[in-house]
Amino acid sequence: MRTAIIGLGLIGGSIALDLRKRGFSDELIGVDKNIKNSEKALELGLVDRIAGLDEAIKISDLIILSVPVSIIVELLPYILSNMKKGAILTDVGSTKEAICKSVEDHPNRQCYVSSHPMAGTENSGPEAALVDLFNNKTCIICDIEKSNKKALNVIKKMYACLGMRIVYMEPAEHDLHTAYVSHLSHITSFALANAVLEKEQDSSAIFNLAGGGFESTARLGKSSPEMWAPIFNHNKENISEALDLYIKHISMFKKCIDENDSEGYIKLMRNANSIRRVLNNIPKIKKLITL
Residue 29 counted as domain residue: yes
Where residue 59 falls among pLDDT bands split at 50, 70, 90?
Answer: very high
Residue 12 counted as domain residue: yes
Residue 285 counted as domain residue: no
Residue 243 counted as domain residue: yes
Residue 290 counted as domain residue: no
Residue 287 counted as domain residue: no
More confident call, 214 vs 50 = 50
264 and 223 both lie in a single domain: yes
Residue range of the domain that includes 32 = 2-170
Domain boundary pick from 139, 155, 170: 170
104 and 224 both lie in a single domain: no
221 and 118 both lie in a single domain: no
Q: What is the pLDDT of residues 104-115, one digit of tens each?
A: 999 999 999 999
From the list 50, 47, 55, the residue with the least C-alpha distance to 16 is 47
Q: What is the pLDDT of residues 96-143, one digit of tens each?
A: 999 999 999 999 999 999 999 999 888 889 999 999 999 999 999 999
What pLDDT was estimated at residue 191?
92
Domain boundary pick from 170, 191, 217: 170
Residue 250 counted as domain residue: yes
Q: What is the pLDDT of residues 38-49, one digit of tens each?
A: 999 999 999 999
Which amino acid type is present at position 179?
A
Distance CA 92, CA 227 (A): 12
Please tell me the total count of domains within the chain: 2
Residue 291 counted as domain residue: no
140 and 254 both lie in a single domain: no
CATH code of the domain containing 253: 1.10.3660.10
What pLDDT was estimated at residue 258?
95
185 and 257 both lie in a single domain: yes
- pLDDT at 291 > cutoff 50: no
124 and 154 both lie in a single domain: yes
What pLDDT was estimated at residue 121?
84
18 and 134 both lie in a single domain: yes
What pLDDT was estimated at residue 257?
93
253 and 235 both lie in a single domain: yes
Task: Taking residues 28-38, report their average pLDDT.
Answer: 96
Q: State what percent of residues in the chain have pLDDT above 90.
A: 78
- pLDDT at 212 > cutoff 90: no
Where residue 210 falls among pLDDT bands split at 50, 70, 90?
Answer: low
Q: What is the pTM of this model?
A: 0.87
117 and 198 both lie in a single domain: no
Burial (Cβ within 10 Å: 0-12, 13-18, ≥19) of residue 244: exposed
70 and 159 both lie in a single domain: yes
Q: What is the pLDDT of residues 235-290, one digit of tens each?
A: 999 999 999 999 999 999 999 999 999 999 899 999 989 877 766 766 543 333 32
86 and 188 both lie in a single domain: no
21 and 40 both lie in a single domain: yes
More confident call, 76 vs 283 = 76
